[in-house]
Amino acid sequence: MAAASIDSQKLGTYTDMSGFAGLRSAAQQDSKSALPAVAKQFESIFTQMMLKSMRDASMGDGIFDSQASNAYRDMFDHQLSVTLSQGKGIGIADMLIRQLGGTAQDSTSASSTDSDALAALSGSGAVSTSSGVSSPSDAESGLMSDLQHLLSRSARAASDGATAVAGAVSKFAPGSPEEFVKALAPHAIEAAKTLGVSVRALLAQAALETGWGKHMPAQGSTTSFNLFGIKAGSSWEGKRVNVPTLEYENGVAVRKKDSFRAYASPSDSFQDYANMVATSPRYAKAVGRGDDVKGFAKALSEGGYATDPSYAQKVADIANGPVMKQALAALKSLANLP
């Protein structure tokens, strides 16, 4: 199948996955001819990731934003990334084509600046090479394999229908423990390094406090991203939400309404938590516990972090339980994918 038979109209619409099927078939039969279309799709995926990172780094939702408007915005970003790549794009497609032995449009040779950028791209692992400059055929097969993997994941997400839309509506709305661990693992790793404790301990504590991300403190449509149930005392100068909570007084559960800290992102929640535990004399015995999950949680509880007498055991049970093990195994499997 020649590159001319690839339906560019279908590839120009992010919701039409049939175009990807045609592209995959064309790449398998004539990878050289399909290279320009493949490079554009790779650039489209990169652009969409860039737009998503930009949205996540914003100062927060506007007063007129809602789940519906955020969903339409995410749909717009997906289509925008595809449309941009179909034109001149941002240059990534041209660099890939030249690197893989093709001829980029509107360019007959790569400048020294492009060569430096390509070297950095290869070094970062975006195009896998075994020794310096690889032959075009080796690089092409690597690109095709990586792109097929990415497209397959996109196709599965699109086929999930309402589940995929629900995931696009919220910045952090894990539908399973696996998604919870996948989203929070990078933040948990950094916080664990600061505190000298197990990553599992922090993920388990966050899972206990939020029900695996499903029950964070929230007021109306305002989500707090408070993953550790940290209350907002008089010294807290940031945003807060007032919600009902369950406290234990003399071993008896009592319903109360309290004020909790609100953050702009899960990352901010982990950073504030790690800073609070690391600098508070009350929790000094919790720092540096290593893999002793129960000892870490017990030291927190004894310092007044939680009133539940079974808090330490609950954290340890989650950290060492089958659900956490399965979620971590899925994360390791994902990390090992090509």
* CB 186 within 8 Å of CB 280: no
Strand blocks (E) in the chain: 218-219, 222-223, 240-249, 252-261
Residue 57 phi/psi, 5-degree rounding, is: -90, 10
Contacts for 107 with CB less than 8 Å, ≥ 6 apart: 94, 98
CB < 8 Å & 24+ apart, contacts of 102-106 = 102/32, 102/35, 102/36, 102/39, 105/36
Residue 136 phi/psi, 5-degree rounding, is: -55, -35
Catalytic one among 56, 65, 247, 291? 247
First to last CA, the chain: 26
Residue 179 known to be catalytic: no
Residue 272 known to be catalytic: yes
- CA neighbor of 31 nearest in space, from 192, 139, 131: 139
Catalytic one among 272, 292, 302, 308? 272
Whole-angstrom CA distances from 298 to 27, 72, 293, 294 are: 57, 45, 9, 6
Residues taking part in catalysis = 247, 272
